């Protein structure tokens, strides 16, 4: 976002932001359960997509002022048909890319009855709002590792397409927080090269990060961007239903790594009055992001917030 637009945000929103002395976090901008949000910027409209709610597999919201004010489209399901491999109501953490040929591609995670776990799949639409038409087969299941969730698309500077996703080892059911606080299972973040259609995987996925003891039970919600020659992987660590959930990032000189964790997370509980910030998606240009924070742990309710991102070299701040 340009400096001018950043200033527009400041003047427009200083009244409702949490820390007006350094106003870069805004919200809640959607005061409804809208977890794991993704953002898609088009020439006229900015879209946000979120995890299922009730009968809606993929929630969608729109902004006509560059992400400042948002409208949740009640009753609109961007993905009414989850595909023959999947079941409804467990559709998580979508991401949408503009393929540049009039087609938008949605990546999503859904429960696969045949694998008895979550898999990630893709669906296409000529309209960012959908309805998206699912592919008949998922892209990745990682069944032995606990399933595949939290996909996000990425296009490298040479045009090569990828997705990143989490192998959901924490779903395998060890003890403690999120079923993996003893660290029995790994929760690797995988990088999968895709064909030009952004739908068909090519080659084997490669691991680019995994949890360590400092992450508690897991890392998840990866999103990859390229900022000024540096590959930046944002992710969340710790269990989503605790105050330890956060937004962190790691950087690399090449797309496949090695990724080096930043010395401190981007957002943790207490920052800007937030609780358990997570599920962030930066825009591909690294200037702005959407994320959720918890407003109620029981029933778990996560509202959407936004932030403008500043950079000092490879150090991010909001």
Ligand X SMILES: *[C@@H]1O[C@H](CO)[C@@H](O)[C@H](O)[C@H]1NC(C)=O
DSSP 49-94: EE--BTTBSSEEEEESSTTSS-EE-TT--S-S---TT-EEEEEEEE
User: Binding to ligand X by residue 69, rule CB under 6 A?
Assistant: no
- Cβ atoms of 206 and 259 within 8 Å: the answer is no
Q: How far is the CB of 71 from ligand X (least distance, A)?
A: 14
- Binds ligand X by CB under 6 A, chosen from 88, 129, 172, 262: 88
Residue located via tokens 């999968």: 192
In the complex with ligand X, the residue whose CB is nearer, 136 or 312, is 312
Closer by beta carbon to ligand X, 178 or else 225: 225
Residues in the chain: 318
What is the CB neighbour count within 10 angstroms for residue 8? 15
Question: Is 195 known to be catalytic?
Answer: no
Active site residue 168: no
Residue 312 sits in the site that holds ligand X (CB under 6 A): yes
Residues 171-210, one symbol each (x = binds ligand X by CB under 6 A, - = not), give ----------------------------------------
Beta bridge partners of 25: 307
Which of 262, 218, 255 is closest to 239 using CA atoms? 218
Residue from 31, 74, 89, 212 in contact with ligand X (CB under 6 A): 89
Q: According to the binding rule CB under 6 A, does residue 65 interact with ligand X?
A: yes
Using CB under 6 A as the binding rule, whether residue 44 contacts ligand X is answered as yes
For ligand X, the closer CB: 111 or 215: 111
Contact between 299 and ligand X by CB under 6 A: the answer reads no
**Least distance to ligand X, CB of residue 232, Å:** 12
Dihedral sign for Cα 251, 252, 257, 262, please: negative
Q: For 72, list phi and psi in degrees, rounded to 5.
A: -75, 125
**Displacement of CA 45 from its chain's centroid (Å):** 19
Q: Which of 33, 168, 215, 220 is catalytic?
A: 220
Catalytic residues: 36, 220
User: What residues make contact with ligand X under the rule CB under 6 A?
Assistant: 2, 5, 8, 43-44, 54-55, 65-66, 88-89, 228-229, 311-313
């Amino acid at each position: 976002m340009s400096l001018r637009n950043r200033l527009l945000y400041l003047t427009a929103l200083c009244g409702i932001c949490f820390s007006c002395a350094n106003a870069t976090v805004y919200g809640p901008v959607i005061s409804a359960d809208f977890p794991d949000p993704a953002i898609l910027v088009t020439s006229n409209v900015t879209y946000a997509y979120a995890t299922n709610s009730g009968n809606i597999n993929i929630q969608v919201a729109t902004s006509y002022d560059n992400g400042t004010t948002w409208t949740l489209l009640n009753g609109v399901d961007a993905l009414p048909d989850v595909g023959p491999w999947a079941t409804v109501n467990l559709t998580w953490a979508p991401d949408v890319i503009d393929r540049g040929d009039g087609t938008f591609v949605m990546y999503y995670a859904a429960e696969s009855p045949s694998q008895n776990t979550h898999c990630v799949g893709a669906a296409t639409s000529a309209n960012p709002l959908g309805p998206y038409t699912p592919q008949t087969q998922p892209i990745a299941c990682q069944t032995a590792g606990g399933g595949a969730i939290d996909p996000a698309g990425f296009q490298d500077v040479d045009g090569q397409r990828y997705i990143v996703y989490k192998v959901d080892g924490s779903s395998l059911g060890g003890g403690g927080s999120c079923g993996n606080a003893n660290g029995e299972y790994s929760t690797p973040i995988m990088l999968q090269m895709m064909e030009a259609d952004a739908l068909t995987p090519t080659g084997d996925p490669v691991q680019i990060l995994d949890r360590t003891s400092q992450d508690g039970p897991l890392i998840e919600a990866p999103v990859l961007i390229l900022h000024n020659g540096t590959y930046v992987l944002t992710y969340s660590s710790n269990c989503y239903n605790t105050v330890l959930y956060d937004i962190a990032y790691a950087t690399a000189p090449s797309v496949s790594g090695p990724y080096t964790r930043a010395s401190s997370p981007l957002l943790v509980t207490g920052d800007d009055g937030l609780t358990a910030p997570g599920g962030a998606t930066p825009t591909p240009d690294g200037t702005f992001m959407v994320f959720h924070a918890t407003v109620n742990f029981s029933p778990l309710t996560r509202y959407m917030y936004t932030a403008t991102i500043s950079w000092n070299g490879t150090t991010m701040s909001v």
